[in-house]
Structure 1
Amino acid sequence: MKDALFGGVNAAVLTAMKPDLSPDPERMAAHAKWLLAHGCNGLGVLGTTGEANSFGLQERKAILEGLIARGVPAAAMMPGTGTANLTDTVDLTLHARAQGCRGVLLLPPFYYKNPSDDGLFAYFAEVINRVGGGIALYLYNFPQQSAVPFSLPLIERLLKAFPGAIKGVKDSSGDYANMKAMVDAFAAEGFEVYSGSDEYLQRILAEGGAGCITAASNGNSHWGGIVYARRTGPEADAAQAVLTATRRAATSVPLIPGLREIIARSTGDDGWRTIRPPHLKLTPAQAEAVWAAWGAAGALPLPGLAPARAAA
């Protein structure tokens, strides 16, 4: 897809934390800059992998402002601003717009389960009207986590009712047929479909999708960049194989602490293991297993990071 605002590889960025569990913008900004220098076209900050829903409203604003103050381009970031309520969602979206972000990622209102498409349409209509434009809105389809999927009829209804407001979707359903159906139905109108799984990057690009927004890009973005640049051929195929293998390695243990472990070992920075409850650090056995899995995938050492040191 040409002219996609976030076309390419977007990491669902980990949120660094200090020992007291407060956000650590210095460490996070350094990681974000490394990602942009090693295969990422953009950054999905404050999403699921970034533990956004473990942070309060003011903390989320401070994290975004802290990254920008430390030189991470606002235009490269797609912050997650969807919450379980209307007013906070609008507030965070307006804040992102004021900081210079070009787009935001919106979870559905996820606390009440099994809402009707009419109810979801009414919610997003209210969000769109209150935001009033000036920033692209992307839907976040992650039914395993939110328990509230986006149906194709709902997306079609929103696109027709609010031309230009809903720019695309991150589909983390893991259902490639669903992603392809979105591309087939809406890509011709400029609707950007991003895979939430690395294993589908090469396929979704070939089908007319815009790219990916993925957790494992915290460590495998170098190979994602190759796939996006080359698309086809032996080099792209080999890079896609690394993406698929690292995705499977990342999900072989609890995802977020597992990725923190990979970055901690790759940088020698134990601070990356700090995580907010209810998430927990990996057990020693899990830590060894995920490190071995990333090594078997051919992804270690991570390009551009200091040689791995022994884990603490």
Structure 2
Amino acid sequence: MTINWSGVIPAITTSFNQDYSIDFAFFGEHCRWLADAGCLGLVPCGSLGESATLSTEEKIALIETALHAVGERVPIIPGIASLSTAEAVWLAQAAESAGCHGLMVLPPYVYSTDWREMKAHVEVVMRATNLPILLYNNPPAYKTDFLPEQIAELAQEHTNLVAIKESSSDVRRVTAIRALLGERLEILVGVDDEIVEGIQAGAAGWIAGLVNAFPRESIALFQLAKQVRAGQGDHAQLDALYSWFLPLLRMDTVPKFVQLIKLAQQMVGMGNARVRAPRLELHGAELENAHEIIRYALEHRPGLDIA
């Protein structure tokens, strides 16, 4: 299955039962709900999927669940991250054997150092598979920053590197990568609250977070942004939808983004707020503030009529 990167691809959350085991039945239902809404692929086992709290066996079981649920309809592109390079290689090969369509490769969870070592890590993983690779650059979270010239170096040396999830929160990275590589790599926005700016700068797609609770609105926002960039869209309609959505999208950019997005899912009736330790569910003023933002958004939810 060929991956179409030019759309909305959720970094899907991992749902837990009351005993914090994985709720595989709901996870499959959630996969189908997102695919039904028009998402072009799914990324399980990413940061939003609480990958750092999952065992390798749980990751493979989640990947297999996603493949069984929607793998014939949309591509499954799991996150590949671990404490060690050897484990990342094992997971990449296991995902390929399971039938995944691509891989999102992250730097190591904990160890962050210089370009030579980070390049060596991702290169070993890329060489271990024949699948197309989406490189995940998220310096705020992983303290590793793949600079545009370093991304260009990797792209020139590895033909299976086909896309970059850019989460540096600097929209100028989109134009910098384009200046070096042209159309060689697909660039996907990985920070929810700069999706419109990223599309205007030339990004092709969106690895999205709030889509887990608001898929129709996410897809509508993406489509409007693409239309406006092409000179065919309604600027006022885009501005109105983005203004409504931004308080929610900003929830994707803070340390407790997992708790906030899962709370939003619970409030729209598509999931629960449970998270695995060391994360804890929101409480007190923090919880009330989040409730207020989500409640307001739901009370003023826009009607959608996007061509």
Q: TM-score, normalised by structure 2?
A: 0.86
Deviation, 1:27, is: 0.8
Quote the sequence identity (%): 22
Instruction: Name 2:62's counterpart in structure 1.
Output: 63
Question: What secondary structure sits across from 1:169 in the alignment?
Answer: strand
1:140-196 CA distance string (max 9 Å, x none): 11111111111222212111122x21111111111112233223322422x011111
> 2:31·2:69 contact (CA, 8 Å) conserved in 1?
no
Return the alpha-carbon distance in structure 2 between the equivalents of residues 268 and 151 of structure 1: 37
Return the alpha-carbon distance in structure 1 between the equivalents of residues 284 and 252 of structure 2: 16
Q: Does 1:264 pair with 2:262?
A: no
Question: What secondary structure sits across from 1:157 in the alignment?
Answer: helix
Instruction: Name 2:175's counterpart in structure 1.
Output: 180
1:284–1:177 Cα change, 3 Å: same
Q: CA RMSD in A?
A: 2.5
Q: In the alignment, residue 221 of structure 1 is paired with which amino acid?
A: P
Question: What secondary structure sits across from 2:128 in the alignment?
Answer: helix
Return the alpha-carbon distance in structure 1 between the equivalents of residues 245 and 192 of structure 2: 6
> 2:27·2:65 contact (CA, 8 Å) conserved in 1?
no
Q: Does 1:294 pair with 2:294?
A: yes
Instruction: Name 2:143's counterpart in structure 1.
Output: 147
Instruction: Name 2:241's counterpart in structure 1.
Output: 239
Which stretch of structure 1 is more off in the superposition, 196-205 or 41-50? 196-205
Return the alpha-carbon distance in structure 1 between the equivalents of residues 85 and 21 of structure 2: 25
Structure 2 spans left out of the alignment, 5+ residues: 229-233
Q: Any residues of structure 2 matched to 1:154-193 within 5 Å, and which?
A: 154-162=150-158, 164-189=159-184, 191-193=185-187
Instruction: Name 1:37's counterpart in structure 2.
Output: 36
Deviation, 1:301, is: 6.2
Return the alpha-carbon distance in structure 2 between the equivalents of residues 83 and 59 of structure 1: 13
> 2:46·2:79 contact (CA, 8 Å) conserved in 1?
yes
> 1:81·1:89 contact (CA, 8 Å) conserved in 2?
yes
1:57–1:195 Cα change, 3 Å: same
> 2:3·2:101 contact (CA, 8 Å) conserved in 1?
no
Deviation, 1:118, is: 2.1
> 1:106·1:140 contact (CA, 8 Å) conserved in 2?
yes
1:77–1:101 Cα change, 3 Å: same
1:30-75 CA distance string (max 9 Å, x none): 1222222234222221111100111011110011112223345474
1:122–1:255 Cα change, 3 Å: closer
1:205–1:252 Cα change, 3 Å: closer
Q: In the alignment, residue 88 of structure 1 is paired with which amino acid?
A: E
Return the alpha-carbon distance in structure 2 between the equivalents of residues 16 and 276 of structure 1: 10
Return the alpha-carbon distance in structure 2 between the equivalents of residues 299 and 208 of structure 1: 33
Match of 1:228 among 222, 229, 234: 222
Return the alpha-carbon distance in structure 2 between the equivalents of residues 298 and 66 of structure 1: 30
1:187–1:144 Cα change, 3 Å: same
Deviation, 1:284, is: 4.4
1:85-112 CA distance string (max 9 Å, x none): 2222122212222233221111112422
Q: Does 1:198 pair with 2:200?
A: no
Structure 1 spans left out of the alignment, 5+ residues: 304-312
Return the alpha-carbon distance in structure 2 between the equivalents of residues 29 and 187 of structure 1: 37
1:72–1:4 Cα change, 3 Å: closer
Q: In the alignment, residue 147 of structure 2 is paired with which amino acid?
A: S
Q: Does 1:279 pair with 2:275?
A: no
Question: What secondary structure sits across from 1:43 in the alignment?
Answer: coil
Deviation, 1:216, is: 1.7
Instruction: Name 1:218's counterpart in structure 2.
Output: 212
